Structures are given as C-alpha cells and as structure tokens.
Chain A
Amino acid sequence: MSQFLLVLVSGVASGAVYGLMGLGLVIIYRATDVVNFAMASLATLGLYVALSLHDRGVATALGVLAAVAITVAAGLVVRETVIRPLGQGQLFSALVVTMGVSLVAESVAGSIWGDQPKSFPSLVDGSVRWSGAAVPVQSLLTIAVAAVAMALVGYLFARTTLGSAMRAAAESADTARVVGLSSGRLARISWALGLGLAALAACLYAPRSGLVPTALVAPLFRAFAGIFLGGLTSMYGAVLGGLTIGVLDNMAANYVSASFRDTFVFSFTVLVLLIRPQGMFGARTFQRV
C-alpha cells in the first residue's frame, strides 16, 4: 500500500509537470496556431542559466525566476524572428521551424555548458512519512507549485478581462479584429505565459532528472501525449491529460516494466485517440461548404 502511495504521489508530481508544460503548449497553440516544439529546449537554456547562478551562490528561488525570464525572452525573440515572418495559418511550417530552433538551442546549450549530466538543485530536501511511506517533500512541493500556477492561469483566463480577450482571440481571430482587439499583443502575452509555465515546469522536473541539453525532451513528449489525450485546444484537457499520463507513466514503470514505459503511455494515447479522435475534451470540428 505504501508503495502504491509513493507511486501515486510521484505520478501526480510528474503529471503536474507534464500538465504545466501542456498548458503552456495549449495557450500558445490556441493564440497563434503554433505547436511550440522548441519550448523544451528554450526552457533548458533557462535551466542552465539558473544552474550557473546557483553555482555562483545565488538563491535557488531567484535562479528559478531567472530561468523563467530567460526562457520567456528567448521565446519572444524566436517568435519575432522566425515564426512571425512565416505568416498566419502555417501550422506545419511553424511546427518544423520550432523543431529547427530546438536543434539549434540544444546544440548551443551543449557547446556552452557541455553534454555531461549535471545535477540541478532541489528547492527542498527530505521527505515526510505518510501512512508508512517516505514521500519526498520535493514531490509535494512540485504538486503544490504546479497547482498554484494552474490556479493563477485559471484565474487569469476565467476572471480577468485580459483573459477573456485572450480566449476571445483564440476562438475567432476575425471577430477579435472586428471588436478591435490587438492580436499581436495578445499573441505576445500568450507566448510569454506559455514559455513561463514551461520554464517553471522545467525547474520542478530537473532536480529529479538531472540536467543535460536534451533533459526536457522526454517530459515534452509526455506533455504532447497529454494534450493530445485532452484535446489540443482545451486547457483543462492539457492539465488532466498531463496528470493522466504522469500517473500512467509511473504506474507502468513500477508495475509493468520500467523499460517500456513510453511504449505503454503512447500506445494508450493512440488507442484513446482512435476511439475519440478529438481527445477527451477537444471539440469536434465540422467542415462546411
């Protein structure tokens, strides 16, 4: 039982990370029709900066803020220089361009900071005992931080006029233009928000995985699985899909086979999609002539 509890907590903690990343992907996708593959590698740059600061004795929390700032800045530069010139509605080209950006960013990170694995500081250490299991505090903190971040995003989108405007622009860019919303500004805010969430997720994930230039590729893929499970345009779907993937992933690793966890997770996702092509929460679209 205590083993199960441990797996569950660690699954929810992983799922919270995937959910945050997925949320960032969905926010950017809804606002600008870009599936941002480069999100993980840009966040990796942020992580390396945070680690360098930590090595110079800066507090970890400040390092996290720096990681977020660097990731957001890098993301906005990417958007202005290589995504915007592509023009509107270039779904696949935009995806491939972000793949290219991610190749470059990973390689740059490798050449500056080296390809050797480094350990990333935990925000907290130790564990608490809970019905006979030693639950790491870092896992609980991950869940708590992710929950607060998600709640803030929820508040922004559900309760503020800016959030309503972002949802409005995501629903129909044409109508948003008619009522005078500035799509460029909303797009920049969405990118900043999405990348900020990714950087936060990265800071929560890195203590467990260690840091190499490709450290975030695995959680990015699982976040992808999560958002496809949840439906590409649903923010709730991204969070719930991420949590589902996280729990499944940890369950599979512990109870099925540690070697085939991705096989299990992706097969599950594909099966769900074959039954429900629009994901669990996505809206079915219909083409009219």
Chain B
Amino acid sequence: MVFNRSLLARAALGPAAGAVLMAFMASGAIPAYQMYSVGLAAVYTIVVLSVGLLAGWSGIWSVGHPAFFAIGAYFAAYGSGHDWPLEAVVLGAVATGAVLGAFLGYAGARFSVLYIALLTLAFTTVTLELINRWSSVTGGDQGVPVVQLRSALGFGTLLGGGTEAQYLAVGAAAVVLALAVPAAASGLRMRLVAAKSHPLAARTIGIAPEAQSSLSFAVSAACTCFAGVLLGLLTGFVSPDPFSLTFGISLIAACVLGGVGTILGAAAGGIYLTWNPSLSSAVGMPQPVVQGLVLIAVLLFLPGGVVPFLAKPARSLLRRVQRRPDAEVPLPADELTKPAPLGPSGDGPVLLHLEHVSVSYGGLKALEDASLSLRQNEILAVIGPNGAGKTTLLNALSGLTGNGRVSGSAEFAGRPLLKARATARRRLGIGRTFQHAEVFSELTVAENVLCTRRRITAGDRAEVARLLHSVGLADVADRRPGELPFGLQKRLDLARAMAENPKLLILDEPFGGLDAGERALLARHIRRLHAEGTAVVVIDHVLDDLFSVAHRVLAFDFGRTIGEGTPDTVLQDPKVRSSYLGTVEGRTRPPTQAGERSMIRLHGVGHTYGGVVALRDVDLDVRQGVVLGIAGANGAGKSTLAGILHGSLEPARGDRESGGAVRTSLAPEGRALFKTLSLRENLEVAAYGAGITGAPLRERLEETVQWLPARLRDRLSASAGGLSGGEQQMLAIARALIVAPDVLIVDEPALGLAPALVDEVYDRLARLAHDGLTVVLLEQLLSRAMSVCHEVAVLHEGVVAAQGRPGDPEFAALAEAAYFSGGLDPATTTAAANARTSSVN
C-alpha cells in the first residue's frame, strides 16, 4: 500500500471531522437532546459503512447485519452485568462477529446474490429468535441495562448512556472512516472488486473468490459487532426492538441512498437512519412508509446513490481543470508503420506438454484426446471451425473447465498441470486473455492490472504504468473499462495477462472484433512478447493475422486434432481445408429458377454491439422461391444478419422492407430449443407465439409432425433436451415451419453435427425449397453453401464481400478469396462480372 499525500489528506478527513464535531459537542453548541442523536449517527455510520462496503466491494448484500449489531450490543450488556472489562467486551464481540461473518462469507461465496440475501435473512431470524427466548442472558423482551464498563488498561469507566459514550462513538466512527480510506486504495479492495465483478476472470489472475468474500464478510461483521457495543454503551439499555428485520431493510436503504461502496455515502446513510424518525414526523407519514418510499424512489431514480450523483459533476469539473491537452490517439504512430518480422522459434526446452487430454460435459465430448507440445519461445496457433474444441482446450490449460470431466495428462515447466487449481496456475506462470475481453468493469484501467498483486508497492505502480504505456493505455489509466471502445478493452485484457511476465500466454481470439490498425498493433505486441521469451498459444478465426504471428499451426475439428503444419502449409492439407470450406455435395439440388418477387429487402443495414461492429452497409434482396446462402467464418456477422432478416432484431442503421404480409421464421444458431419442454410443446409454443390457437393449431401441429422424421414422431412427449444434435436441428426447423412461413431462415444448421446428419438436414431443406418455400441459409462452410443454394453472399467481417451464383466459375474463386480475406485484390475483383463485391477496410 502506498501512502501519498492526497491519500493521507483524505484519510485525515474523518478524524478531523470527528475532532470538530467533538469540539462542538464540548462547547455546548449542540443542544443536549441532540447529543445522543449525534452519537447514534456515528454508530449508524459504522454499520452502514460495514454493509455498504461489503456490498460495494464484494457484491454481498447482507440482511444479517442487524444480528451482528445485536450481538455486539448484548456483549456490552452481558459484560456490564458480569463485570467484564471494556477491552474484553470489545474483543469478544469483534471475534464473535469475525468468526460468524467468515462462515457466512465462505458459505455465501457458493451462492448467488439472492441466496446470500436469504442466508443472511435466516441468520437474522435465528439470532432474533435466540435473543427473544434466551431470557436468562438477554432478558427476553424486557431487555437488560448496560450500567457501566470499566477499562482494564486504566482508561477509566464508561457509564451506559453517559456523555463519554457519545464522544467515544464519534471518535470510533472517525477512526473507522479514516481506516476505510487507505483500504479503498489498497490491493485488497481491488482484489475484492475483481472477484465480485468477474469471478472467472479473477481466478485466472490468482484471486480465489471464496477467500475474498469470507475475509470481507468477517471484517464487515466484526465492525458491526463493534458498533453494537457502542450502541449498548450509548443507550445504556439493550432490548430486541432496534434489531428487527425492518432495521435490516432500512440499512440497505441507507446504503443505497448514500451510494453503495462509497465512504462518504456511508456517513450520509448513517445520518439518514438517525434522523429518519424526525423526517417522518415532519412530513406526517408513518416511518415505514417514508422508509419504503425513499427506498423505492432511490432505486428507481438514483440507483447510484446521492453522494456519487453529487460527486460526479464535481469530479468531472476537477478533471477538466487538471487534464492536460494530450493526443486522443494513444499509440505512437511510427511504431505502427514498420511491422517487425517474427523472430525464429527457439530450440528451447519443452515448456508445455499435453498428452491425450479430453474434456467432457455430461455426454458431450468437447475436447477429445488432444496432444501437443510447446517449446519456450514458440508461438502456436490453433485453428478450427466453430465448436471444434479450441476454447475448451484453452480452458483446460487455464483450469476453467467448470464441472467438465478432464482426463489425460499435462505438464507445464516440469510440473503436472491438470491437478492445479485455476487460481494456482497464475503462479505457475500462465496468463490468459478472453474472447470478449472479460475485464473488471468496476475497477479503473490501472487497477485492473494492479489487482494482480496482493500488496501494491510504489514499484508496482511504476511497473504497471510502464506496461500500460507500452500497450497505449497510459492516457486512460484512470478511466473505467466500460468507457473505452472494445479495442482498448482487449488491450487491457492483454495487459492484465502480461503483468508479472508469465512464461505462457494464452490468447482466446485476440484479433476478433478489432479493426485493421488494432490488429496490426496486436500482432506487433505478440511478436514483441515472443522476442522477450514468452511462449504463446493463440486461437482465432482471423487467419491472415493469426498466421502472421505463428510459428506452428494446429488444426482442430470435432474436438480432435486434424492437422498440423507451418502457417504456409497448413491450409494445403485437404483435411484442414475441408473443415473450413466443406466437401459435402448436396444430394437434392435446389429447383432451377426462382421467382422475381422480392420477399425481404435490406438497404444499407448496419449493426453494432456495444461499440463492436457486427454488420456494415449490407444490401440484400431475398426473392421468392430462392435458396439464398450466406456464407462466412465465425464472427462474420451471420447471426446478426439472420436476426435482422427475421425481423426480431432491429438494425441500428438502414432499413428492412418486406413485401406485403410476409411471415418469416427463424431456426436460430445452436437450435435454441426449449430443452425442458417436450417435442410437442416446443412446436405448440411456436404456433401459439404466432397467434395460432385452438383447431388451427392442432391442424398445423398434425401437418408439421408429419414433416418430422419417423424416429421423432414416436417421441413427441419426450423432452427436447434429450435429443441428439441432429434431431434437435430437425425439431428446430419444424418449430420454424409450424407457423407456415413464407421465408424460412436457418442459422448454421450443420453446427456440431456428424456428416451423415448434415446431409439429412440439407436434404430436407432442399425439399422444402422444391415445395416453393423461400429459404435463407446461414452457413459457415462455403462449399456447402455453394452446393445447395441458388445464390450465395459471402460475409466477411460484417460486409458482403462477394455475391453471385454458384454455377459461375469465376465466382467460385472470388467467393473463396472473399471468405478468407475479404476479397481478391481490388483490381481483379472489379473484373468479376456477375458478382458485386466490396473490399474490407
């Protein structure tokens, strides 16, 4: 932890305010009848701080704090009745709170936020019942007095209900606030928040969420017990009344009102709790009504709380004053223009060795018998179509296989890897990034990297600053990741993985979603990492960029290795090539001509997800009776296009016209069946959703069931989750057919299916086309799209890069080039007569 001047100044604010308050109290400026309220506000501030920081930092909303508050108060009462010294009472209360809190926190880490709320609710209920019934100790609902507590260390005697107790409460609150300030700047808070905002990503940097929540709950409960002792001294009398469940709800209201996880907000919440009764009588409404209304109003209109709401404009004003004018583009341009060549792979010792590693989830084998070895100073690229098992391989390496069964053996730097917990693999020297840049949204950019350290020194801060500078994030170090574009979030993800210089870096689709400039920059980073001696395993679908940074390429399909080679040679392997492009010949050809009537037309359609461009400027015309194939690699924007064609997704730009009352229906990617529903119910629900009920529904159901293969017709009452992949696909298509659509949109029907089943599915689709249905087919394999469709549009990075008829020999070459890299050279593409192309970038 680093103490700089501003931190010390802020930490001193609490004690300073406390001292001023005490001076006022001593001078008599505060009327005697308000002295008690001031003390109470101080005690409440401690409790609200405990609850609020626990929620804000660890994401645990406790309804159990009234119980801890009560435990502390009864410790004071019991101690006073049995002549315990003050120190013993405080120690006993704090220790009891810590132990119980640690247990609740540990148990709570396994549950979602709702379960924790209920767990702590149960804790409060049980504690209150004990207090009410165990009258020999607690006095039952009669209560017990706190007469006095004598200090064993010679600080004198505190009378229950006396003025000293009021001073003590204010002083204690000041100290607790002062301690919270450096805690807020510490690595501990960063690790807590990291574990809360993304438990899975936190594991990959060595943070165990269970330990974090146990610790934070223990501290929070201990503080609340301490506040309970103060309350006992302050009131001089302890009864069960103040510790009701309503108090627990009010505590949450106070936290939310002040601002969850802010220290100043806790003080505001404590003040609100204290003077809520006066407020209620001032507005002439019962206290619970005021509390309830305030709670609802704050959650609806000020979910961030009052203090952050007020602080935000103040801070942005400050920032505007302080901020020096600096360039918006945070990367040095000269480095971008000269790409360093990739150094040779070393002949170093083997760093990672996998033998026959398999991962299965239930009956599904996501990864089968994977073997590979990686030398130090080598970059290995792993390629394969969607669902090939690439991400599962990475998850097995980083220990994130969840409840999957992992078998086989793996060695990393001479140690067995598979038995090591995910949190331990960071220490072994493995860092990883995520496809969607899983950064900690509630930490700043710098904190995202800093939280990899347990204790943060000045040296650490300097080192992280250097690292952020090297990836071009230095100017945004104090911003939240959510304010940054996706490309910068991915850089942050990379920086976090690179911190502490891992021996092996695992990159999950690092190029996906980046523009050309960012991809070039990323390639440069990977080369530099290699030059510094880091081994890298990288998977991606953007093959050009991937191959530019790889020494060796491993190809996967159906969970198995299907080929290996250098970047130059691997795509020449027919097996690898066919896994992307396909070799399947459709048995049933589509009908030879299509009608001219336009069913759906898209004009200049574009779509983005949180700053990531999924589609750009797409024009498409779906004519009646056509089988239109849309081919593209994973992430090219196919599913987005499917949703827009279907009409269930509103495009961000451009428009969709459909001719007259055209009914579209979609069989989504991955089937998306209702797995807990039976086959028949899946069909019925879709008809119901389209407004078909009663007799017409039964009729449609009858007809659609006839379309299903015989083996499914006999199992209409079985649940859809039990079907095999191919059967699920049939059902998904049938579910789309039951509404008698004019246009059927099928998104990747072949995904994850064995070849024979793929043929069957395509056969049936072709027959539907013969019957006059208009079909839009979104397909990952270009050759399959070419073999079954009238027209094929190739989608590359959200753009229609080529469009034409499969029969046209010129189009075949064009489509292939478009599929892999967005098109041939612009000069040659214009020559293609029948195809409309647009080049990317």
CA distance A266 to B676 in the complex (A): 31
Residues of A within 8 A of B674 (CB): 167-168, 171-172, 175
Residues of A within 8 A of B299 (CB): 86, 93, 96-97, 100
Q: List 9 A-B contacts (CB under 8 A).
A: A92-B61, A97-B295, A97-B300, A104-B296, A107-B287, A171-B677, A172-B672, A179-B689, A221-B122
CA distance A215 to B635 in the complex (A): 56
CA distance A102 to B292 in the complex (A): 8
B693 at the interface (CB under 8 A from A): yes
User: Of A168, A172, A180, which one neighbours B690 at CB under 8 angstroms?
Assistant: A180
Interface hit among A116-124, A202-210, A224-232: A224-232
CA distance A182 to B668 in the complex (A): 18
User: Of B133, B199, B292, B675, which one neighbours A101 at CB under 8 angstroms?
Assistant: B292
Q: In the bound complex, do residue A180 and residue B129 qualify as a contact, i.e. CB atoms below 8 Å apart?
A: no
Nearest chain-A residue to B676 (Cβ)?
A171
Residues of B within 8 A of A267 (CB): 126
Q: In the bound complex, do residue B119 and residue A273 qualify as a contact, i.e. CB atoms below 8 Å apart?
A: yes
A286 at the interface (CB under 8 A from B): yes
Q: In the bound complex, do residue A178 and residue B395 qualify as a contact, i.e. CB atoms below 8 Å apart?
A: no
Residues of A within 8 A of B114 (CB): 35, 91-92, 95, 232
Q: In the bound complex, do residue A277 and residue B288 qualify as a contact, i.e. CB atoms below 8 Å apart?
A: no
How near does chain B come to A274, taking the closest CB pair, in angstroms? Answer: 6
Q: In the bound complex, do residue A262 and residue B672 qualify as a contact, i.e. CB atoms below 8 Å apart?
A: no
A176 at the interface (CB under 8 A from B): yes
User: Of B288, B435, B508, which one neighbours A107 at CB under 8 angstroms?
Assistant: B288
A161 at the interface (CB under 8 A from B): yes
Q: In the bound complex, do residue B403 and residue A284 qualify as a contact, i.e. CB atoms below 8 Å apart?
A: yes
Q: In the bound complex, do residue A175 and residue B668 qualify as a contact, i.e. CB atoms below 8 Å apart?
A: yes
User: Of A91, A96, A108, A221, which one neighbours B125 at CB under 8 angstroms?
Assistant: A221
CA distance A111 to B289 in the complex (A): 11
Residues of B within 8 A of A91 (CB): 112-114
CA distance A122 to B665 in the complex (A): 54
Q: In the bound complex, do residue B113 and residue A100 qualify as a contact, i.e. CB atoms below 8 Å apart?
A: no
B474 at the interface (CB under 8 A from A): no
User: Of A101, A102, A175, A178, which one neighbours B646 at CB under 8 angstroms?
Assistant: A178
Residues of A within 8 A of B395 (CB): 289
Q: In the bound complex, do residue B119 and residue A270 qualify as a contact, i.e. CB atoms below 8 Å apart?
A: yes
What per-residue 1/0 map shows which CB atoms of A213-243 lie under 8 Å from chain B?
A: 0000100010011001000100000000000
Nearest chain-A residue to B721 (Cβ)?
A171
CA distance A110 to B191 in the complex (A): 46
Q: In the bound complex, do residue B252 and residue A270 qualify as a contact, i.e. CB atoms below 8 Å apart?
A: no
Nearest chain-A residue to B394 (Cβ)?
A289
A77 at the interface (CB under 8 A from B): no
What is the size, in residues, of chain B's interface with A at 8 Å between Cβ atoms?
A: 74
B712 at the interface (CB under 8 A from A): no
What per-residue 1/0 map shows which CB atoms of A71-106 lie under 8 Å from chain B?
A: 000000000001001100001110111011111101
CA distance A112 to B648 in the complex (A): 48
User: Of A164, A225, A286, which one neighbours B685 at CB under 8 angstroms?
Assistant: A164
How near does chain B come to A84, taking the closest CB pair, in angstroms? Answer: 10
Q: A288-B402, A289-B200 are in contact. Are A178 and B296 (CB under 8 A)?
A: no
B-contacting residues, A60-76, CB 8 Å:
none
A-contacting residues, B684-703, CB 8 Å:
684-686, 688-691, 693, 697
Count CB-based A-B contacts (< 8 Å): 178
How near does chain B come to A236, taking the closest CB pair, in angstroms? Answer: 12
Q: In the bound complex, do residue A104 and residue B289 qualify as a contact, i.e. CB atoms below 8 Å apart?
A: yes
CA distance A221 to B676 in the complex (A): 29
Q: In the bound complex, do residue B125 and residue A286 qualify as a contact, i.e. CB atoms below 8 Å apart?
A: no
A259 at the interface (CB under 8 A from B): yes
Residues of B within 8 A of A5 (CB): none
CA distance A35 to B116 in the complex (A): 13
A-contacting residues, B432-451, CB 8 Å:
434-436, 438
How near does chain A come to B793, taking the closest CB pair, in angstroms? Answer: 22
A8 at the interface (CB under 8 A from B): no
State the B residues within 8 Å of A (CB): 61, 107, 110-115, 117-119, 121-122, 125-126, 129-130, 133, 199-201, 245-246, 249, 252-253, 256, 286-289, 291-293, 295-296, 299-300, 303, 361, 391, 395, 400, 402-403, 434-436, 438, 508, 646, 648, 665-666, 668, 672-677, 681-682, 684-686, 688-691, 693, 697, 735, 739
How near does chain A come to B195, taking the closest CB pair, in angstroms? Answer: 14
Task: Identify 12 new A-B residue pairs, CB closer than 8 A, beyond the known A92-B117, A174-B672.
Answer: A82-B300, A93-B303, A161-B688, A168-B681, A175-B673, A178-B648, A179-B686, A224-B121, A259-B133, A270-B119, A287-B199, A289-B400
Residues of B within 8 A of A259 (CB): 129, 133
What is the size, in residues, of chain A's interface with B at 8 Å between Cβ atoms?
A: 60
A260 at the interface (CB under 8 A from B): yes
A250 at the interface (CB under 8 A from B): no
Q: In the bound complex, do residue B681 and residue A287 qualify as a contact, i.e. CB atoms below 8 Å apart?
A: no
CA distance A117 to B199 in the complex (A): 48
A2 at the interface (CB under 8 A from B): no
How near does chain A come to B284, taking the closest CB pair, in angstroms? Answer: 12
Q: In the bound complex, do residue A82 and residue B122 qualify as a contact, i.e. CB atoms below 8 Å apart?
A: no
How near does chain B come to A74, taking the closest CB pair, in angstroms? Answer: 14
How near does chain A come to B459, taking the closest CB pair, in angstroms? Answer: 32
CA distance A225 to B125 in the complex (A): 11
Nearest chain-B residue to A94 (Cβ)?
B299
Residues of B within 8 A of A177 (CB): 648
Residues of B within 8 A of A53 (CB): none
A137 at the interface (CB under 8 A from B): no
CA distance A182 to B691 in the complex (A): 10
Nearest chain-A residue to B392 (Cβ)?
A288
Residues of B within 8 A of A107 (CB): 286-289, 292
Q: A100-B292, A107-B288, A175-B674 are in contact. Are A289 and B253 (CB under 8 A)?
A: no
Residues of A within 8 A of B252 (CB): 96, 99
A149 at the interface (CB under 8 A from B): no
Residues of B within 8 A of A99 (CB): 249, 252, 292, 295
How near does chain A come to B787, taking the closest CB pair, in angstroms? Answer: 28
Nearest chain-A residue to B133 (Cβ)?
A259
Residues of B within 8 A of A244 (CB): none
Q: A165-B688, A175-B672, A175-B674 are in contact. Are A103 and B130 (CB under 8 A)?
A: no
Q: In the bound complex, do residue A287 and residue B200 qualify as a contact, i.e. CB atoms below 8 Å apart?
A: yes
Residues of A within 8 A of B303 (CB): 93
Q: In the bound complex, do residue B292 and residue A263 qualify as a contact, i.e. CB atoms below 8 Å apart?
A: no
Residues of A within 8 A of B256 (CB): 96
Nearest chain-A residue to B113 (Cβ)?
A92
Residues of B within 8 A of A96 (CB): 61, 249, 252-253, 256, 295, 299
Nearest chain-B residue to A102 (Cβ)?
B292
Q: Which of A100, A277, A288 has the most CB of B within 10 A?
A: A100
CA distance A161 to B508 in the complex (A): 43
Q: In the bound complex, do residue B675 and residue A171 qualify as a contact, i.e. CB atoms below 8 Å apart?
A: yes
CA distance A111 to B299 in the complex (A): 25
A269 at the interface (CB under 8 A from B): yes
CA distance A262 to B647 in the complex (A): 53
9 smallest beta-carbon distances between A and B, as pairs: A180-B689, A103-B292, A100-B295, A104-B292, A107-B288, A266-B122, A259-B133, A100-B292, A164-B681
Nearest chain-B residue to A232 (Cβ)?
B114
Residues of A within 8 A of B735 (CB): 179
CA distance A102 to B248 in the complex (A): 13
How near does chain A come to B238, taking the closest CB pair, in angstroms? Answer: 20
How near does chain B come to A155, taking the closest CB pair, in angstroms? Answer: 14
A140 at the interface (CB under 8 A from B): no
CA distance A198 to B466 in the complex (A): 60
Residues of B within 8 A of A273 (CB): 107, 111, 115, 119
CA distance A82 to B294 in the complex (A): 12
Residues of A within 8 A of B668 (CB): 175, 178
Q: A99-B249, A101-B292, A175-B668 are in contact. Are A221 and B677 (CB under 8 A)?
A: no
Q: A91-B114, A177-B648 are in contact. Are A164 and B677 (CB under 8 A)?
A: yes
Q: In the bound complex, do residue B115 and residue A100 qualify as a contact, i.e. CB atoms below 8 Å apart?
A: no
Residues of B within 8 A of A82 (CB): 296, 300
Residues of B within 8 A of A221 (CB): 121-122, 125
CA distance A121 to B120 in the complex (A): 35
A181 at the interface (CB under 8 A from B): yes
